[in-house]
Amino acid sequence: MTSWQPLSGTDAVIAAVDTALRTLAGASHAGRPCPSAPEPDGDLGADERRLSGSLMRVNHVGEVCAQALYSAQALTARDPVLRHQFDAAAREETDHLAWTQRRLGELGARPSLLNPLWYGGAFAIGLLAGRVGDATSLGFLVETERQVEQHLEGHLDRLPAADKASRAIVEQMRQDEARHADAAQAAGAAELPAPVRWAMRAAAKVMTVTAHRF
């Protein structure tokens, strides 16, 4: 097995562009099997299927944003070890992206029409956080992952009980996000000021409400 080596500046930019293209083209592939429930789905009515499709579209948007955030933070990280940590977490987020995309297809739902906008905005925010410093970038990651964890818990409450396939995916995502937040905290994350956390929650609310429909 070859040891991990940090990318050069040019290679890092190329990797970031590649991530953006694969994410927006729907060409991401999971490295882990898609989570499955021990029991098959029950019968989903038309309204339940639409609800599940809308919720999984929101989750897919979240993973599009995660790809952008991790890519930008890896690009700006000063510590090569931290950059590797961002890259490793991003690979798990790629699993989430592929799983949610697959589930959207199974539900007959489409991804958000605004994915390029979501990606661009998240990438810009990740760049800004990374430029401030590694501790702030980690703090931003902790807060983001904690908010996503709460968001996924809310979706577990809202998803139809019969939609066991979506619930299995969301539960695994929730566990992964909690682990990413814990790892970032342990790596030396700085606590973000309350106004920044409130602004992040407000922006996330706009995104989830919009992505639910579009």
pLDDT for residue 4: 39
pLDDT for residue 1: 37
| 109, 54 Cβ separation under 8 angstroms | yes
Query: What single DSSP character describes residue 75?
Result: H
| Structural domain contains residue 27 | no
Average pLDDT over residues 169-193: 92
| Structural domain contains residue 22 | no
Tens of pLDDT, residue by residue over 62-109, are 999 999 988 888 888 888 888 887 888 888 899 999 999 999 999 999
Question: What's 123's domain CATH number?
Answer: 1.20.1260.10
| Structural domain contains residue 178 | yes
| Structural domain contains residue 28 | no
The pTM (predicted TM-score) of the whole model is 0.89
Q: How many structural domains is the chain composed of?
A: 1
Range of the domain at 67: 9-16+42-213
| Structural domain contains residue 23 | no
| Structural domain contains residue 26 | no
Cα atoms in the 13 Å half-sphere on the side-chain side of 194: 0
Highest mean pLDDT among 5-9, 12-16, 55-59, 136-140: 55-59
Contacts of 49 (CB under 8 A, 6+ apart): 107, 108
Average pLDDT over residues 149-153: 94
| 141, 82 Cβ separation under 8 angstroms | no
Distances (CA, A) of 132 to 73, 81, 88, 171: 11, 18, 22, 33
Distances (CA, A) of 145 to 136, 148, 175, 204: 14, 5, 11, 12
| Structural domain contains residue 117 | yes
| Structural domain contains residue 164 | yes
Distances (CA, A) of 23 to 62, 76, 135, 155: 12, 20, 27, 23
166: enclosing H helix or E strand? helix 164-186
Per the listing, tokens 């898609």 go with: 34
- 95 or 40, higher pLDDT: 95
